Structure formats: structure tokens, C-alpha cells
Structure 1
Amino acid sequence: MLYYSTHLHATSNQWVTFVHGAGGSSSIWYKQVRDFQKHFNVLLVDLRGHGKSKKPFYEKLKQYSFDVIGDEVIDVLDHLKIKSTHFVGISLGTIIIRELTERYPQRTNSLIMGGAVMKLNLRGQVLMRTGALLKSVIPYLLLYRFFAFIIMPKKKHQESRNLFINEAKKLYQKEFKRWFTLISEVNPLLTFFRINDSKVPTLYIMGSEDHMFLPSITKLVGDHPSARLHVIKDCGHVVNVEQPHIFNATAIDFLKSISPKQ
């Protein structure tokens, strides 16, 4: 089972489950836990190969697909007897929570998609294909640094870049290659998501400087009025790290607006 940690509220029966992106770990949510725990029970998970989910069992698993990874998150919910939860994802984590919601809508109360990935533009597709070709000849950390700078290029994004690069250093090289291959094959799944709009209440929180992904999210929300979009000014891709106070307040207000009073 994946490594997880819980932070319980004294009286709430509402859960919020946080899912990080590729190369990260549950530690990237350190600016969220205190604020969210004031209102909800909080569940943090480390995806396979990340953080403390590095047991030999995961080294032996060669099947890496979004449905398998999503099922591992569901296994944690089952273990804790959590029937349904709000999900918060960042970057690649948004794909994971969106995919498992497609298959288990009854387990998802709402989706908060931070720095959401819903379409790779031409630049992104070229970068992913190039990386897939070079992943066996270029040291994985150098490749990760390169992509971190492409996605988070500005000086003000340095904290986010450093956080993800430091977490990526903890990955095994084989693990990185498996995840990178998974990412490079993501576009067909994203096309499926755009065609099959989720009926689950969804909030997208994006940075105004997230040049790689914001344009496609803006169009997506425009096509689906039931979804909400909040754009944080002067902010890049990793919105929960760069602007945690705005991210937390926006997300918690959204959850309160759709959650029954307790």
C-alpha cells in the first residue's frame, strides 16, 4: 500500500485527499495542511516510487498506467474506510484524480485542480517526445531540471523549481524513466477527458504565468460552464507553493460552498 498520513479535524466527517505530481511527494503540501485541517480531515499520499512509497514491492511492478496508479489511491481510501472525499491535485496529480473520478465518481465529492494539465500544446508534445528519446542517454536529473525550467522559467518560480528538483533527486532512475514514459503518452487520455466532461464539481486554480497549460484550461472551462476557474496573478505552475494563501482561501471557500453544513 502507498505511504499515507492523516491530519484529523475534531468534528468534521469531510475528507480532503491531496495528490502530488510526478517527481514530487506529499511534502509539497506543507503550506496547505494547517489551513485545511481547520475545516476538514486531511489525507496525504505518496504515489508509487515517490516520497516514502519506495518499498521493494513497487520496484518490482513494471505496469505503470493511470488507472493502476489511481487504484492504489483508492486502496488507501478503502483501508481508511473513507467512502468519498474531495480531491486536490497539482500538475500530473490532476490527471490521476480526474482519471480515477471517471471510473469511481461515487468516491469523489469534488475536484480541485491546481496547475492542471488538460492538454499538451505543440511545444509540450515536442518536449515530451524529445525527452522520451533522450531519457536513456541523458542523466535523469538533468532532464528533470530542463523540464522544470521550461515549465517554471521565471526567477519568482525558483522556490517551486527547487522543491520539485530536490524531490526528484530522491527518485530512482528506473522510477523516473517509468513515470516519464507515462507522461509522454498522456494526450489520448486528456482528449478523452475533454470529450467526457466530469459532472463532479470542479475548480481549476491556475497561475497567470503558467504559459504551458493555462490557455487550454481557459478554453476548457469556457466550453463547460459547470466548472470554475480562478487565475492567480503573478503566479506560475505550482500555485500551492507560490501563492499558498490565495490557493488555500480559494480552495476552502469552494469546498465550503458545495459541502453540507456540519
Structure 2
Amino acid sequence: MLHYKTHVIAEDAPWVVFVHGAGGSSSIWFLQIKEFVKHFNVLLVDLRGHGRSKQITTSKEERRYNFEVVTRDVIEVLDALQIQRAHFIGISLGTILIRNLSELAPERVQSMIMGGAIIRLNVRAKVLVAIGNFFKSLVPYMWLYTFFAWIIMPKARHRKSRVMFVNEAKKVAQKEFMRWFTLTYELNPLLKYFEEKDTGIPTLYLMGEEDYMFLPAVEYIVSHHTNSYLQVISNSGHVCNIDQPHEFNSRAIDFLRNISARSLPQNVEAVPQLVAI
């Protein structure tokens, strides 16, 4: 089972589950915990091969991971803790796992908050994936990860989040990194399916205005899916929970408290004004 940590404030308090991205760990949420535990029970998980989660494999899984396998790891933790329903917050690739969880077990998902959401791969992202697949066996994986971090988070104010993710990635074994990289082969058909299917689950997208690779696709999807909302955070890049933690926390908590009260937030527009980046 995945390594996890809980913060319980009350038995009847709603649960919030944090899911990090590839190469990270639950430690990337350190700027969120203090605020969220004022209102919610919190569950943090380390995905397989990340943080303090030991490698979880069977003979078949050892050869290649897929999104269903790594998503069911999270469901296994929910089952162990007897958490029947929760709010889910993800960043980057973690948003794909949450969206996949909403397909595998929709009854477990009360709402979703997608930070730096990956909805569609633009041309630049597809080129990065192709470069990674070509060079992954030829160069040290940290060279690739550092290169990707610079492309996705290029500005000086992204340095904190960029350095943190690179440092976390150094803790992931190269073989484990390669297994996770195989997930890129599933991305395009899976993301296309997610774009075409509207879950109707209340979903807030929190995106940095400088997340130039992924923000345009999110702007499109919130105009086509019901119960989907977008808030754009100024002076922030892809990892907006680290770049602008106060804004991320306040917007996410307001959304969740309104969902928990069975009402939609009044300060979130269903079709947002586009932001020039």
C-alpha cells in the first residue's frame, strides 16, 4: 500500500485528499496543510515509487505501469481508511489521476480541484514527450527532468517550484522514473476521452496565468463542461500551489466549503474572462 499521512480534526469533518504529480511527493503540499486542517480532515499520499512509498509491483506491473494501476493505489488507501467520499486536490499529473479516479469510482469523488491541470497536450508538449521517449535510454533521467522543468516553468518567479520539483525527482530511482514515463504513451487517448466526457462533478481549475502550455486547454474545457469553473492566479506558473500559496489556498478552501454546504461558490464564473499570457 502507498505511504500516506492523515490529519484528522473531527470524525464527521469532510475529507480532502491531496495527489501530487510525477517526480514529486506529498511534501509539495507543505504550504497548504496548515490552512486546510482548519476546516477539513486531510489525507496525503505518496504515489508508488515516490516519497516514502516503496515500489509496488507484480510481475506484469513491473514491466509497465498504466493509469488504472496507479489510480487504484489511491483507492486502496481510501478503502483502508474507510473514506467513502472525499474532495480531491491535484497538481499537474496528479490531476489526471484524480480525473481517472472519477471514472473508476465516481461515487467516491465529491469534488475536484485541479491545479496546473493537464487537459490536452499542445504541440510543444507533444514535442517534449517525443524528445523524452527518444532520449530516455540515452541520457540520465535527471537531465530530462531538469530540462522539462525549465521548459514548463521558465520564469525567475517559478524558481522555487522548479527547484523543489527537481530536488524531489532526485529521490526517485531511475527505473521507477522510466516506468512512470511509459504513462506518456497513454496520455493522448485518455485526455481526449476526458475532454469528450463531462462527469458533472463540481470541478475547480486553479491555473497560473503563466502556465502557457496548459491554460488554453482548460479555458476551452470549462466552456464545454457543466459544473466546471476556472480561476486564474496572477504571477504564477504551472505549480501554482507553490508560486502563490495564499491565493491557491483561499480559492480552494472557499470552493470546498461551498461544495460541502451543497451550494456553488458565488465568486467563480462558469465561463471565465480569458487572460492574456
TM-score, normalization by structure 2: 0.91
Aligned to 1:215: 216
> Which residue number in structure 2 is paired with residue 126 of structure 1?
127
Question: Is this contact kept in 2: 1:23–1:171, CA < 8 A?
Answer: yes
Conserved in 2, the CA contact under 8 Å of 1:49 and 1:59?
A: no
User: Unpaired runs of 5+ in structure 1?
Assistant: none
Partners in 2 of 1:153 and 1:187 — Cα distance? 24
Q: Which residue of 2 aligns with 1:47?
A: 47
Question: What residue in structure 1 maps to residue 33 of structure 2?
Answer: 33
Deviation digits for residues 14-47 of structure 1 (CA, Å, limit 9, x no counterpart): 1000000000000000001110000000000000
Whether the aligned pair in 2 keeps the contact of 1:111 and 1:201 (CA below 8 Å) is yes
Say if 2:42 is the partner of 1:23.
no
- Alignment CA distance shift 1:23-1:84 (3 Å): same
Give the counterpart letter for 1:6 in structure 2: T
SS at match of 2:117: coil
1:146-169 CA distance string (max 9 Å, x none): 000000000100000001000000
Q: In the alignment, is the contact (CA less than 8 A) between 1:209 and 1:235 conserved in 2?
A: yes
- In the alignment, the residues of structure 2 paired with residue 2 and residue 226 of structure 1 have an alpha-carbon distance, to the nearest angstrom, of 31
Looking at structure 1, the residues matched to 184 and 43 of structure 2 have their Cα atoms a distance apart, in angstroms, of 25
| Superposition deviation, residue 225 in structure 1 | 4.4
Counterparts of 1:73-88 in structure 2, within 5 Å, are 73-88=74-89
Tell me the residue number matched to 2:151: 150
Deviations, residues 224-248 of structure 1 (Å, cap 9, x unaligned): 2420000001110001111111000
Select between 45-54 and 223-232 the one with higher mean Cα deviation.
Answer: 223-232
Identify the residue that residue 169 of structure 2 maps to in structure 1: 168
Amino acid at match of 1:24: G
Contact 1:240 1:248 in 2 (8 A): yes
Q: Distance in 1 between matches of 2:113 and 2:12?
A: 19
For residues 106 and 88 of structure 2, what CA distance do their matches in structure 1 show?
12
RMSD: 1.3
The alignment covers a number of residue pairs equal to: 260
**Aligned residue in 2 for 1:188:** 189
- Distance in 2 (CA, whole Å) between partners of 1:156 and 1:180 is 27
Q: Deviation per CA, 1:141-190: give whole Å up to 9, x if none.
A: 00000000000000100000001000000010011111112124311100
Shift of 1:126: 1.1
Who is 1:64 aligned against? 65
The answer (yes or no) to whether the contact 2:20–2:26 under 8 Å persists in 1 is yes
Aligned 8 A contact 1:95 1:117 in 2: yes
> Aligned AA for 2:228?
A
Contact 1:48 1:58 in 2 (8 A): no
For residues 11 and 112 of structure 1, the distance between their equivalents in structure 2, rounded to whole angstroms, comes to: 23
Q: Give the 3-state SS of the residue equivalent to 2:143 in structure 1.
A: helix
**Match of 1:205?**
206
Q: 1: distance between equivalents of 2:185 and 2:86?
A: 29
Distance 2:181 2:11 in 1: 41
Residue pair 1:120, 1:187 contacting (<8 A) in 2 also: yes
Paired residue secondary structure (1:223): coil
Residue in 2 that maps onto 1:117: 118
Q: Percent identity?
A: 57
Q: Report deviation, 1:260.
A: 3.1
The answer to whether residue 5 in structure 2 is matched with residue 5 in structure 1 is: yes
Paired with 1:41 and 1:242, the residues of 2 have a C-alpha distance of 24
Unaligned runs of 5+ in 2: 263-277
Letter in 2 for 1:215: P
Could you tell me how far apart the structure 1 residues matched to 2:91 and 2:185 are? 17
1:68 is paired with a residue whose SS is helix
Q: Which amino acid aligns with 1:93?
A: G
1:183-234 CA-to-partner distances (Å, cap 9, x unmatched) read: 2431110000011112110000000000000001001111224200000011
